[in-house]
């Protein structure tokens, strides 16, 4: 029992149902590779429910059964993230007994008295291969409620895909069929990397992924050398900075003035396009970050901006368009 009065009751394994008809291995792309050395994507959901141990047992049974059905739709979440040393590729291997660890626990305190971190399931991916996802259901004795924690590796799933999976799982848990869990708003998952292959023919995308891996995780299969990426959120310093409309207008005027000053020193003067709020705030965040790093004069630094293309996933993008949006 820990400081929250937390006790682990059991740990079991939930496997996809129906089981996959064939062995599945998904090679990850250069878009996935940067996240191999980062914290998992994690969520905790708390539910207020009257009832005791018997109801908790019944709810867990329904969650396990619906999770098995959802994993059959989102098979990579039941696999293991692995490093293939011979080819230097990162893959999700679902060929060897795919499944997800399901932890059951109980806490003496109510939900608002328990640290959120203690409600999350264990998921250690410092050394590959490592499971992609784990789940933890905790009975909150004092409040009569329950908490459901889910962790998934960021190299395999991003925030949007994670939400789509959770929506499908909860839809099945509430009585829907797996067929009903995929529809226009929740399309059937597609693990193919066809767009990447078209944008980078002749294996160029694979080489780019290997290059990225060599930078972010040079000691694979050891993905993370320290526990820094698994540090508790409660030990991290946080500050929220709020910029109102006047702040943003002043920031844009400053950027416009700097752009005008820069263009006046060039021979090909063109009228600068007004910056958007997104560009202005990105510029402020990035310059503040660079100043905080204390880089020496002449040092290189890079700004990366990820963009979601989920809304265009059903359209066949040209290699040029795919390369630009990736």
Q: How far apart are CA 100 and CA 15, in angstroms?
A: 6
Q: How far apart are CA 83 and CA 86, in angstroms?
A: 9
The reply to whether 253 falls in a domain is yes
| Region 10-14 average pLDDT | 94
User: By residue range, what is the domain housing residue 120?
Assistant: 6-235
Where residue 321 falls among pLDDT bands split at 50, 70, 90? Answer: very low
Same-domain status, 249 and 228: no
Render pLDDT for 102-120 as a digit per residue (tens, 0 to 9): 999 998 876 567 777 889 9
Render pLDDT for 271-282 as a digit per residue (tens, 0 to 9): 667 889 988 998
Same-domain status, 39 and 151: yes
Same-domain status, 42 and 144: yes
Q: In what order do the strands lie in the sheet with 100-107?
A: 6-14, 100-107, 133-140, 145-152, 41-47
Task: Say how many domains are in the chain.
Answer: 2
Look at residues 141, 140, 189 and name the one whose alpha carbon lies nearest to residue 169: 189
CATH of the domain at 119: 3.30.559.10
Same-domain status, 276 and 137: no
Q: How far apart are CA 246 and CA 88, in angstroms?
A: 50
Burial of 251 (0-12, 13-18, 19+ CB in 10 A): middle
Could you give the maximum distance between any two Cα atoms of the chain, in Å?
Answer: 78
Q: How far apart are CA 27 and CA 82, in angstroms?
A: 10
The reply to whether 153 falls in a domain is yes
The reply to whether 267 falls in a domain is yes
List b or e across 55-93, with b for residues whose CB sees 16 or more CB atoms inside 10 angstroms: ebeebbeebbebbbbbbbbbbbbbbbbbbeeeeebbbbb
Last residue of a domain, one of 201, 235, 269: 235
| Region 115-135 average pLDDT | 91
> If you compute the radius of gyration of the chain from its CA atoms, what whole number of angstroms results?
23
User: What would the DSSP string read from start to end of 119-188?
Assistant: GSPP---SBSSEESEEEEEEEETTTTEEEEEEEE-TTT--HHHHHHHHHHHHHHHTT--HHHHSSSSSPP
Q: Is the pLDDT of residue 143 over 60?
A: yes
Same-domain status, 109 and 164: yes
Same-domain status, 219 and 283: no
């Amino acid at each position: 029992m820990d400081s929250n009065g937390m006790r682990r009751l059991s740990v079991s394994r939930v496997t996809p149902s129906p089981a996959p008809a064939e062995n599945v291995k998904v090679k990850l792309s250069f878009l996935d590779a940067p996240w191999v050395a980062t914290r998992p994507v994690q969520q905790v959901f708390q539910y207020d429910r009257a009832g005791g141990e018997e109801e908790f047992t019944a709810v867990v049974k329904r969650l396990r059964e619906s999770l098995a059905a959802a994993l059959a739709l989102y098979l990579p979440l039941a696999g293991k993230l692995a490093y293939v040393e011979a080819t230097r590729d990162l893959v999700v291997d679902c060929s060897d007994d795919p499944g997800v660890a399901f932890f059951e626990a109980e806490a003496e305190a109510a939900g608002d008295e328990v640290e959120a971190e203690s409600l999350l399931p264990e998921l250690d991916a410092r050394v590959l291969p490592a499971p992609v996802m784990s789940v933890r259901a905790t009975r909150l004795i004092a409040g009569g409620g329950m908490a459901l924690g889910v962790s998934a590796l960021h190299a395999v799933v991003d925030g949007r895909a994670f939400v789509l999976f959770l929506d499908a799982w909860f839809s099945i848990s509430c009585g829907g069929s797996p067929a009903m869990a995929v529809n226009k708003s929740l399309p059937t998952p597609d693990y193919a990397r066809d767009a990447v292959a078209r944008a980078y023919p002749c294996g160029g995308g694979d080489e780019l992924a290997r290059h990225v891996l060599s930078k972010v995780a040079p000691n694979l299969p050891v993905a993370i050398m320290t526990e820094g990426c698994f540090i508790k959120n409660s030990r991290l310093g946080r500050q929220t900075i709020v910029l109102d409309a006047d702040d943003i207008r002043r920031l844009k005027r400053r950027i416009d003035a700097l752009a005008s000053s820069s263009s006046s020193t060039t021979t090909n003067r063109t009228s600068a396009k007004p910056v958007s709020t997104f560009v202005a705030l990105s510029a402020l965040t990035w310059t503040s970050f660079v100043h905080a790093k204390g880089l020496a004069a002449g040092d290189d630094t890079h700004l990366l901006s990820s963009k979601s293309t989920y809304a265009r996933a059903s359209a066949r993008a040209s290699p040029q368009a795919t390369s630009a949006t990736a």
